[in-house]
Structure 1
Amino acid sequence: MNTLFDVQLTQDQRGLLDAIAHQWLDRGEWPLWANVQHYFDMRGKDADAIFHSLPRVGTETPFGAGYGFTLPMRAPIGANDRVRLTVAASLVVPQVRMVAGEPFVQALRHMIDLYTSRPTHFDQVPTIILRSGELKTALPNLKPWFVKVLPDLLSNEPTISTGGAQTGDGGWEREVTRSVLQYRTVQSVEEYIEKTCEIVLRAAAQYAPVAAVVEAPTPTGPERAPYVDLALLKELEEAAAKTTWKLRKLLDLCRELNDNYVADNPYACAALIRALLDHVPPVFGQKGYAAVASQHTFTMQRTDKEHAKKLLDFKSVADDVMHRPIGTSVPVVGMGDLPEPVRLNALLQEMLTVLRASVTSPSRP
């Protein structure tokens, strides 16, 4: 399968996409998984199995190298998790195409125009911002419903990099980055989806096994999975658009950690993990990571607090990596000296919970 145009969906798969689309199109909110499950439970169907059988092009790893009709979800999907469609669902749900897909391409064309007409400054890189109010003025035919949901829809597309926040007047703003230039020739929903499939397949190919031109290939072990869970990374990216905390550095550190972990670079991984531990305490209302590990009340207090303490113990290893000077005898740090990925993922998941809670609160630490 080279594109999402080649697939033939089953009746159950189409029914699942319709069920997800119905609430979103009706209320502008993605449905809770428990409600989708219940709909299929009453019909004797396994919604989880149907969801995970939906076709995708590319891969689910690394981040940005896969694309499907829905945003991928880690199994098992939580009852309170919200399931989301992508623009690709326009191919199989006609109402999504009409209400979201076609307006999305119009908004994308406007974003491209904004980026290509940006001023040139030789001593700085200008930041191009798309604002909801300006979008309404530039494209008055767009429905208020679509303008409201556009930031979330942009977050579901793997090849468009944007970040932003909600504004106090109920509007929003998003940064327009160079990523939109990939779509300069796109004029329709089909062309957008085809181009996105092409981009993610090209990205996935970079991580495909390449046969070595040797007589007897050297056996290798299984490919190392990313350190930071990719679905969690996507959720953090979505949270970045809704919180006043600036998460760009956090996301970059996580992606660089994944790259170095897959590449077996233990010193870089240790330094990046240490950088992450030093970076996140303010979100927890603390000045340093030691206070996070000892004072924060975790959602899963016993388990996640233990993960946090183990990460605190690792800081001495990271200090060794970063600060020990050269000498006649220097201990070697290997990949086995890194903390298990589940520990940092648990900390980042807790951070995501705190970020989501802060969105509904008028104050923050």
Structure 2
Amino acid sequence: MQLTQDQRSLLDAIAHPWLDHGEWPLWANVQHYFDMRGQDADAIFHSLPRVGTQTPFGAGYGFTLPMRAPIDGKDQVRLTVAASLVVPQVRMVAGEPFVQALRHMIDLYTSRPMHFNEVPTIILRSGELQTALPNLRPWFVQVLPDMLSNEPGINTGGSQTGDGAWEREVTRSVLQFRTVQSVEDYVQKTCEIVLAAAAQYAPAVPVVEEPVTAGPERAPYVNLALLKDLEETAAKTTWKLHKLLDLCRELNDNYVAGNPYACAALIRAVLDHVPPVFGQKGYASVASQHPFTMQKTDKDHAKKLLDFKSVADDVMHRPIGPSVPVIGMGDLPEPVRLNALLQEMLTILRASATSPASP
């Protein structure tokens, strides 16, 4: 099923405060944002695709938690892991780490000791998770229990233990996800689980079997919330971002339109344009020398973008000949990689905005 631009904007509006502050927005604030644009947020929310049924909870799944109409303005509205498929920044800071944490939970459960006269309780603790997966951001570790509580295929219970620490019981339910290696795998498996539950709980009720995917319509390549942050920061830093912003807007237009050659050239142009902000002369130095905030994950993204430069060179420099060169949309790097680089750049720009040493 295709998502409209209004549906994508709604998901971005819900995600932004959560990503910034770790708190889901009140529905009244989301409504107000769309009211100012002359749009009906409630209608857009209830138009979002779902699989299964609206109730019970375990028999339905979509990009958001279900909320019955009319939605109370004081209610918090929440995204699910499925939103990672269409909101690149959510995928980067929550979706992919969620899959890593889920894999760790599966390992904990499958390695539990064997007893024949008792059933051991397997506990996931925040401190132990951070030690086992040191690349996870503290922000993600803090919000993980809330995420687990709202994913219908995972049955866990837990509590806070003080000083922001928490523990969570790992149950047999995680074994349903043993083959999951990516966000796409996780969402597909969850859809299968809720469809089976819908058939069990409400066999006489028609079940929506439309897959929860982004559909053939592509989301913008550069996340719109990130692009907005760059636009706002442009007014506060002495770095001139005019060309970068234009490149990103043109990249989004061409990505949605499905123009692979233009996209490849524009991605290459962005990579060639940004190194001075990182204190480097060329992008190869950025990928190899910059101390990224998320050292392993973001450096991996940066290196993959460096590898892509040979594809972009092929696009721009291969002369015409008797053979037909073919570059498709699948040859472009995943949007999450460039978004991670631009997010790191945004952090540097925000710091430079308050520094007298800004260029």
Does TM, normalized by the shorter one, top 0.5?
yes
Measured against the shorter chain, the TM-score band is 0.5 to 0.7
Q: How does 1:88-103 map to 2 (within 5 A)?
A: 88-103=82-97
1:23 match: secondary structure:
helix
- Return closer, same or farther for 1:172/1:209 CA change in 2, 3 Å cut-off: closer
Q: More displaced, 87-96 or 70-79?
A: 70-79
Counterpart of 1:196 in structure 2 is 190
Q: Give me the whole-angstrom Cα distance separating, in 2, the residues matched to 1:30 and 1:150.
A: 13
Deviations 1:279-326 (A, max 9, x none): xxxxxxxxxxxxxxxxxxxxxxxxxxxxxxxxxxxxxxxxxxxxxxxx
Q: Give me the whole-angstrom Cα distance separating, in 1, the residues matched to 2:49 and 2:96.
A: 22
For the 8 Å contact 2:59–2:201, the answer to whether it is kept is no
Counterpart of 2:36 in structure 1 is 42
Deviations 1:181-207 (A, max 9, x none): 000111111111111111111221224
Q: Give me the whole-angstrom Cα distance separating, in 1, the residues matched to 2:31 and 2:202.
A: 34
Q: Which has the higher contact order (CA 8 A, sep 6+)?
A: 2
- Counterpart check, 1:66 vs 2:60: yes
Q: How does 1:136-175 map to 2 (within 5 A)?
A: 136-175=130-169
Counterpart of 2:69 in structure 1 is 75
Q: Give me the whole-angstrom Cα distance separating, in 2, the residues matched to 1:25 and 1:163.
A: 24
Code of the residue aligned with 2:141 in structure 1: it is V
Name the TM-score, length of structure 1 as normaliser. Answer: 0.55
For the 8 Å contact 2:31–2:40, the answer to whether it is kept is yes
Counterpart of 1:121 in structure 2 is 115
Deviations 1:328-355 (A, max 9, x none): xxxxxxxxxxxxxxxxxxxxxxxxxxxx
Aligned partner (choices 79, 93, 106) of residue 85 of structure 1: 79
Q: Give me the whole-angstrom Cα distance separating, in 2, the residues matched to 1:41 and 1:75.
A: 17
Code of the residue aligned with 1:162 in structure 2: it is T
- Counterpart check, 1:176 vs 2:159: no
Q: How does 1:99-114 map to 2 (within 5 A)?
A: 99-114=93-108
Q: Cα distance, 1:75 vs. partner?
A: 1.9
2:168 match: secondary structure:
strand
Deviations 1:208-253 (A, max 9, x none): 546xxxxxxxxxxx99xxxxxxxxxxxxxxxxxxxxxxxxxxxxxx
For the 8 Å contact 2:11–2:87, the answer to whether it is kept is yes
Code of the residue aligned with 1:131 in structure 2: it is R
Q: Give me the whole-angstrom Cα distance separating, in 1, the residues matched to 2:69 and 2:165.
A: 34
Counterpart of 2:45 in structure 1 is 51
Q: Cα distance, 1:123 vs. partner?
A: 2.0
Code of the residue aligned with 1:72 in structure 2: it is P
Q: Give me the whole-angstrom Cα distance separating, in 1, the residues matched to 2:59 and 2:91.
A: 23
Counterpart of 1:185 in structure 2 is 179
**Residues matched between the structures, number:** 206
Aligned partner (choices 5, 24, 28) of residue 22 of structure 2: 28
Aligned partner (choices 3, 8, 19) of residue 13 of structure 2: 19
2:58 match: secondary structure:
coil
RMSD: 1.5
Code of the residue aligned with 1:16 in structure 2: it is L
1:206 match: secondary structure:
helix
Gaps (5+ residues) in structure 1? 1-6, 211-221, 224-365
Q: Cα distance, 1:63 vs. partner?
A: 2.9
Q: Give me the whole-angstrom Cα distance separating, in 2, the residues matched to 1:179 and 1:41.
A: 41
Q: Give me the whole-angstrom Cα distance separating, in 2, the residues matched to 1:155 and 1:129.
A: 15
1:167 match: secondary structure:
strand
